[in-house]
């Protein structure tokens, strides 16, 4: 399943790039994510996801597969496994940044998801809605907390 989202942040591309490729800085803004340890270039933590009345908790890991600063393209691979249950999430996330103005960057995120278990049963449409909501929260947090602090 592929989910595509786009958002803009109020920052020039170079600044946005520096922030968005710094997992430790953006981690507090990823809704439900708790970064627990970093080993080499692998980031590990717990991801809590709420869909309706269902709350899923995943033991998660994230690595950078590609970081191309000249093209402002970053590819991450993430994986998670339900802490209680059998479901899994595997994701390849491609983010491309481009200038949308002097002080504005448009970020296009394409996530290719392979989801199994309980949340897979909710179907594609609800997962699209949920991911859009998560990205909204992420961006809002980014702008109010991370960007504000760095400008």
Closest CA to 77 of 88, 66, 93: 93
Applying CB under 8 A, does 116 fall inside the site for another protein?
A: yes
**Spatial distance between the Cα atoms of 86 and 71, rounded to a whole number of angstroms:** 38
**Rg for the chain (alpha carbons), in Å?**
15
Q: Judged by CB under 8 A, which of 123, 136, 144, 150 binds another protein?
A: 123
Q: Judged by CB under 8 A, which of 9, 76, 115, 142 binds another protein?
A: 115
Q: Tell the smallest beta-carbon distance from residue 91 to another protein (Å).
A: 14
Neighbours of 90 (CB within 10 A): 14
**Contact region with another protein (CB under 8 A), list: 26-34, 61-69, 91-99, 122-130:** 122-130
149 exposed, middle or buried (CB, 10 Å; 0-12, 13-18, 19+)? exposed
**Contact region with another protein (CB under 8 A), list: 26-34, 85-93, 97-105, 130-138:** 85-93
Contact residues toward another protein (CB under 8 A) are: 1, 82, 84-88, 114-118, 120-124
């Amino acid at each position: 399943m592929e989910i595509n989202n786009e958002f803009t942040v109020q920052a020039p591309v170079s600044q946005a790039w520096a922030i968005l490729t710094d997992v430790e800085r953006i981690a507090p803004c990823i809704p439900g994510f708790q970064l627990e340890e970093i080993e080499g270039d692998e980031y590990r933590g717990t991801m809590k996801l709420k869909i309706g009345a269902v709350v899923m908790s995943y033991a998660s890991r994230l690595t950078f597969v590609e970081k191309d600063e000249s093209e402002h393209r970053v590819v991450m691979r993430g994986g998670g496994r339900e802490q209680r249950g059998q479901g899994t999430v595997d994701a390849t996330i491609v983010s491309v940044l481009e200038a949308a103005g002097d002080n504005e960057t448009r970020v296009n995120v394409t996530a290719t998801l392979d989801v199994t278990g309980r949340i897979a049963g909710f179907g594609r449409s609800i997962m699209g809605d949920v991911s859009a909501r998560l990205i909204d929260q992420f961006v809002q947090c980014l702008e109010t907390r991370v960007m504000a602090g760095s400008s």
